[in-house]
Chain A
Amino acid sequence: MARAVTTRRKSLNTILAWVIGLLIFFPILWTILTSFKTEAQAIASPPLFLNFDWTLENYAIVQERSDYMRFLWNSVIIAGGSTILGVIIAVPAAWAMAFVPSKRTKDILLWMLSTKMLPAVGVLYPIYLLFIRLGLLDTRGGLVVVLMLINLPIIVWMLYTYFREIPGEILEAARMDGATLKEEILYVLTPMAIPGIASTVLLNFILAWNEAFWTLNLTAVDAAPLTAFIASYSSPEGLFFAKLSAASTMAIAPILILGWFSQKQLVRGLTFGAVK
């Protein structure tokens, strides 16, 4: 009897959850579907769900007309570059704070976090001006630096919470066995730290890929990543649903896939370790 009730409840939960899940996912699904339609089918009334002639022409047109690959490449360089640079700078810092904590460690961590709270618009003009003076406007290098700086606090925080979970006794044991500092770092700590570093890289790549304040305001043509490329579709003459969908699908597909791997890290990274 109790078993039957549980099964019934489980079925109800399943149905309800799937309906809500699909409803929330629907805009993404609809975008992907529309990207395979012709422009006429995309605005057909009543809307076509699966019963249309699937075509890849939109993808070809988007690439041909606006050189999609160039924007993609800019996104890869900017998101990848800022993440790698950020991790290189953050690993030693997080390492020192986790393994050689001092009285001020907590204050430094909180202060770093506070720089993340600085509203971008408050420093828009200074950064804009510095970019013009230094010749960085519309360059990938300039954006790599800015995105690295805005994500550095999150990178340090995430690495710190991961490093802190590495037990200190292991280090002592290695030292007892006569390991030198170099061996200790290379053979003991690095293997244990790699999963944490990988998660950090993943989440920060996603955040940098989707960043849409600095990438919109500091690029024009040459260094424009996908966020800016998509924004160019907001002009009325760009109102082509199928092409917009194809461009959007290509812009979000890589991140959707990466994102699914990073669900757990998302919570840790975005709450600064306050919820695990």
Chain B
Amino acid sequence: MATQHSRSVARLMMAPAVVLLLGWMLVPLTMTLYFSFKKYLPLRGGDLGWVGFDNYVRFVSSSSFWPAVQATLMIVGGVLMITVVLGILLAMLLDQPMWGQGVVRILVIAPFFVMPTVSALVWKNMFMDPVNGLLAHLWRFFGAEPISWLSEASMTSIIMIVSWQWLPFATLILLTAIQSLDSEQLEAAEMDGAPVLKRFYHIVLPHLSRAITIVILIQTIFLLSIFAEIFVTTGGAFGTRTLTYLIFQRVLESQNVGLGSAGGVYAIILANIVAIFLMRIVGKNLDA
């Protein structure tokens, strides 16, 4: 029974969280917008006045823009493909009866809890190092020439590292979704002689479609802004400079704040396009 009194108490209880988040959103956003219309070089003259949409045009027409878009798409697309496909297979396997299921699940989930700088450095040095890395040993064992992973196959390497980090997330969510599948339905289909692939396409996949969508949307938002993995491995070299990394370099390394801010606005718009779809699903779930 919500009375007028309890409503105003409730409003008061929500106020700190709402005000803080509003400030967190509006203040930096306004500043980014403000800088994006200025020629602003803190180390070379400071605020050099308004330039209209100049930064927006220059950011897009710079020679590093399209490669950055390409790198971003390749990382997001590659990681999504690997984690979703392997995640579905792994979730289906983990759902089967077996001994030591709890332990296996822990082994599979563990990479998610490893901090990004650790996983990137461990992969970079102990696995992908062309001389002492474990993969180099493996290559030599089979008589092949070891690969300098992070320079010759930089994109593949980054996708491998990030996929290793995110596979647990996809698996765990898809496993949770699979466990809510009615096993009687599957058994009935098996009795009727439906082959494995048919059962998968007509029963399992439709049941998982919402969970898959959620995995894709949430991962996309996080993957669009991966930073540490590139920061400690290639530093944006060898074609791994993503949009996020490009903006970081413009803003903090070359201190071209106006140009970087325009890039930031593009990044915000891009993330919001993905976010709208995610919010629709989450919002629908709230009504239920």
On A, residues with C-beta under 8 Å from B are 6, 9-10, 13-14, 16-18, 20-22, 24-25, 27-28, 30-31, 34, 43, 45-47, 89-90, 92-93, 95-97, 99-102, 106, 108-110, 112-115, 117-130, 149, 152-153, 156, 206, 209-210, 212-213, 216-217, 226-228, 230-231, 233-234, 239, 241, 244-245, 248, 251-252, 255-256, 258-260, 263, 266-267, 270-276
Q: Cβ of B99: which chain A residues have Cβ within 8 Å of it?
A: 10, 14
Interface size on B, residues (CB 8 A): 103
Q: Cβ of A216: which chain B residues have Cβ within 8 Å of it?
A: 117, 227-228, 231
| Interface residue SS majority, chain B | helix
> Are A14 and B100 interface neighbours, CB within 8 A?
yes
Task: Answer yes or no: B221 CB below 8 A from chain A CBs.
Answer: yes
Given the complex of chains A and B, what is the CA–CA distance between A147 and B98 in angstroms?
40
Which of A10, A16, A113, A124 is close to B279, meaning CB atoms less than 8 Å apart?
A113
Given the complex of chains A and B, what is the CA–CA distance between A210 and B111 in angstroms?
12
> Are B29 and A230 interface neighbours, CB within 8 A?
no
Given the complex of chains A and B, what is the CA–CA distance between A95 and B214 in angstroms?
26
> Are B107 and A24 interface neighbours, CB within 8 A?
yes
Given the complex of chains A and B, what is the CA–CA distance between A17 and B137 in angstroms?
26
Given the complex of chains A and B, what is the CA–CA distance between A230 and B123 in angstroms?
13
Given the complex of chains A and B, what is the CA–CA distance between A121 and B233 in angstroms?
19
Which of A6, A20, A89, A101 is close to B17, meaning CB atoms less than 8 Å apart?
A89
Q: Cβ of B193: which chain A residues have Cβ within 8 Å of it?
A: none
Given the complex of chains A and B, what is the CA–CA distance between A114 and B275 in angstroms?
7
On B, residues with C-beta under 8 Å from A are 2, 6-7, 9-11, 13-14, 16-18, 20-21, 24-25, 27-29, 31-32, 35, 90, 93-94, 96-101, 103-119, 121-127, 132, 134, 137, 141, 164, 167-169, 172-173, 176-177, 210-211, 214, 218, 221, 224-225, 227-228, 231-233, 244, 247-248, 251-252, 257, 260-261, 264-265, 267-268, 270-272, 274-275, 278-279, 281-283, 285-287
> Are B110 and A256 interface neighbours, CB within 8 A?
yes
Which of B115, B123, B218, B233 is close to A210, meaning CB atoms less than 8 Å apart?
B115
